[in-house]
Structure 1
Amino acid sequence: MKKLLFLILGVNFLITNAYSQKNMEPLKVGVIGLTHTHVHWIFGSEPRGDIKIVGIVEPNRALAQKYAEQHKFSMELVYSSMEEMLEEVKPEAVTAFGTIYEHLEVVEAAAPRGIHVMVEKPLAVSMSHAKRMKELAQKHNIHLLTNYETTWYPTTHKAYELVKEQRAIGEIRKIMVHDGHKGPKKIGVNQEFLEWLTDPEQNGGGAEVDFGCYGVNLLTWFMEGKKPNSVTAITQQLQPENNPKVNDESIILLQYDSMVAVIQGSWNWPIGRKDMEIYGVNGVVYADNRHDLRMRISEGYDGYEEQVMKLDERPAPFDDPFALLAAVVNNEIQLDAYDLNALENNMLVVEILEAAKKSAELNKTIQFKN
């Protein structure tokens, strides 16, 4: 009887150990495109051990060589086409670091092979692209995630906790989101990135797409997927010498039943910023940057009691996009429908951005139907 018990315990240990070892194995990831400089992020993330880059697609060999020298990877990892890389190395997931227009092509190649996809923000250049991407993801049962820098800010999630879960400032009345910098050319992005970032077809627009998407993504999360009643936007080109094909200034107004939102995505900020202000009936939360958050509770007319917080990084895998991707693919984490990375959230982001572009073009408010 003792021998049988030890045998059963031994088998259980081996099974548990094998499962643990499997979970510890890094997710095999292919990187498609090197023209989006956010790609440095995944190379910096790989040493964490959550992922292993098994193939890279970049037809520009000179550009690939620069990255290879900087990040110390072999040029043998680099392929000139998606089909070649996907067939030869068979990654479990791919990340898209090319143009926004190319996101659809990535999903078209990966989804039928059962390969999961993470794209950089926003999800797509248009609703027609987004709908096709969603259709493919659902048909082939793959995860399709979108990555935003602000998703990984501890302040983003602390603000949500204070406002939505603790109701620390009362019912929300206004959210203001500010994102951007001096402009792609002024901050010195490399030529390969600049060429498509300032192209209306390849990027889907100008500053309202590049930086307006952050605010729309956050609002969709705070509003739990509820569509705004209306979208009103203005855009302007203040740097024609640097951005001749697209606007570089945008303000998007979203109107809900009991609150409003102001989203300012700009390539004209004198100082780069990604911050948010949330106003409730009793106070305000300021998410000033990645780590600094303030909450003010109203006292009288213009007085307030202020609490200042310096936040640590979030625990793994919620501190890194590729760690989260691995956790989702391995079924360790299940995203809610309107989580910041989730497909349903980002479908609505594209829909609202498309309405914003139409509003600015027609100089009129676009009504939404919930």
Structure 2
Amino acid sequence: MMKFFLIIFFSVISLHAKSEKLKLGVVGLTHTHVHWILGYPENEDFEVVGYVEPNLELATRYANQYNISLDLVYSTLEEMLAVQKVDAVAAFGTIYDHLAVVQECAPRGIHVMVEKPLAVNLNHAKKMAALAKKHNVHLITNYETTWYPSNIKANELLKAGKIGDLRKIIVNDGHRGPKKIGVNEEFLEWLTDPIDNGGGAITDFGCYGANLSTWIHNGKKPLSVTANTQQLQKENNPKVDDEAIIILDYGSSNAILQPSWNWPIGRKDMEIYGLTGAIFADNKNDLRIRIAEGYDGYSEEKIKLEDRKYPYADPFTFFAGVINGTIEVKPFDLSSIENNIIVIEILDAARKSAKTGKRVYLK
């Protein structure tokens, strides 16, 4: 009888905990990925209790667009935290500001999710990771491609031996360039700044491939990084690169990352080559599998995948699940600190290689 009552008691406690929505703060509105949360429908997992944005004109514009009360907009993070009880924050400001957000939130026990990449350099990234560990808070990095079912399925097929042992990954990411696609001025100002963004296309889109390659290689770091950058649109990107090629040497395999602000058509796709075939994640939902036949022949299977299911469909329900304990972020998962520390190490090495013209060996 006592066991029966204990089961009922803990069931009630569990239901009560689930009914309490996560109180989320949004820090910064200049990153245009913020529209994902601004337009987010009413849900059971979280509620946004405050927005931090010192640019009142920008804040007012978005508040009007999404019917948000300006009473929920604060000019500084400190001001919001003094007024609102916040469980977690999502950062949509400059990449350089990610460290300051963690410095302010982690000691208060507030969990943090940042937009990709984790940090502008390895020094910032290590400080952020140390703070998260010290104060026992979650620190995750959001990439749009994490929620692509094509990437998830591609890795599952590779691990199942569908195309034999891994030999090469090619990741292509980018678009025509921030100015050409009409990025708003508030975003453009720091996206094309080497300090606030940590670089140009090499940072903005190079991080996607580094993240996916680290995940597919199960957290293994490349032995070396070789990179070349170009500035093909000096009139639009006077301070930063807009074209990059990054080669990662893993010994028995390699990865070629092609981040660019010069693609004629926007893309986020990946190719995985094994000893007996290849997998093409053409976009979010389309996947092709080619199995080699003879010298240059192959059989091909095309798969149309449905979007990932709750709570893995987007970063916000995922973040809520991580915080409430229903989702475990394993080492070297796409969102994990461990993975994203390596991402920044790769990007630091890539920038160094491009600058010196030499291959950079990782420790």
TM-score w.r.t. length of structure 1? 0.96
SS of equivalent to 2:48: strand
Partner of 1:275: 269
Partner of 1:330: 324
2:114 aligned residue (116, 119, 130): 119
Partner of 1:94: 89
Cα deviation for residue 17 of structure 1 reads 2.9
Residues 24-47 of structure 1 deviation map (CA, whole Å, 9 limit, x = unaligned)? 332110000000010011123352
What are the equivalent positions in structure 2 for 1:218-297 lying under 5 Å apart?
218-297=212-291
SS of equivalent to 2:40: helix
Residues 50-97 of structure 1 deviation map (CA, whole Å, 9 limit, x = unaligned)? 220001101111111111111111111001111111121121000100
2: distance between equivalents of 1:215 and 1:230?
15
2: distance between equivalents of 1:343 and 1:17?
33
SS of equivalent to 1:83: helix
Alignment of 1:58 onto 2:53: yes
1:17 aligned residue (12, 34, 37): 12
Cα deviation for residue 9 of structure 1 reads 5.3
SS of equivalent to 1:187: coil
1:141 aligned residue (136, 141, 146): 136
SS of equivalent to 1:336: coil
Partner of 1:187: 181
8 Å CA contact 1:50, 1:326 repeated in 2: yes
Runs of 4+ more than 4 Å apart: 7-12
Cα deviation for residue 48 of structure 1 reads 3.4
SS of equivalent to 2:169: strand
SS of equivalent to 2:49: strand
1:71 aligned residue (66, 89, 106): 66
The verdict on how the C-alpha distance between 1:307 and 1:17 changes in structure 2, with shifts beyond 3 A counting, is same
Cα deviation for residue 303 of structure 1 reads 1.0
Partner of 1:203: 197
1: distance between equivalents of 2:283 and 2:99?
32
2: distance between equivalents of 1:171 and 1:52?
45
Q: Which amino acid aligns with 1:205?
A: G
1: distance between equivalents of 2:229 and 2:264?
18
8 Å CA contact 1:45, 1:322 repeated in 2: no
1: distance between equivalents of 2:264 and 2:7?
61
2: distance between equivalents of 1:117 and 1:341?
12
Percent identity over the alignment?
60
Alignment of 1:81 onto 2:76: yes
TM-score w.r.t. length of structure 2? 0.98
1: distance between equivalents of 2:29 and 2:294?
54
Cα deviation for residue 182 of structure 1 reads 0.2
Structure 2, unpaired ranges of 5+ = none
1: distance between equivalents of 2:42 and 2:90?
16
The verdict on how the C-alpha distance between 1:34 and 1:300 changes in structure 2, with shifts beyond 3 A counting, is same
2: distance between equivalents of 1:351 and 1:299?
39
Work out the number of aligned pairs and report it: 363
2: distance between equivalents of 1:23 and 1:49?
9
Cα deviation for residue 21 of structure 1 reads 3.1
Cα deviation for residue 138 of structure 1 reads 0.7
Cα deviation for residue 302 of structure 1 reads 1.1
Residues 167-186 of structure 1 deviation map (CA, whole Å, 9 limit, x = unaligned)? 10000110000000000000
2:24 aligned residue (7, 24, 29): 29
SS of equivalent to 1:202: coil
Residues 174-229 of structure 1 deviation map (CA, whole Å, 9 limit, x = unaligned)? 00000000000000010000000000000000100000000000000011111111
2: distance between equivalents of 1:14 and 1:336?
30
Alignment of 1:157 onto 2:159: no
Alignment of 1:38 onto 2:33: yes
2:347 aligned residue (345, 353, 365): 353
The verdict on how the C-alpha distance between 1:46 and 1:132 changes in structure 2, with shifts beyond 3 A counting, is farther
1: distance between equivalents of 2:329 and 2:143?
15
Bigger helix fraction: 1
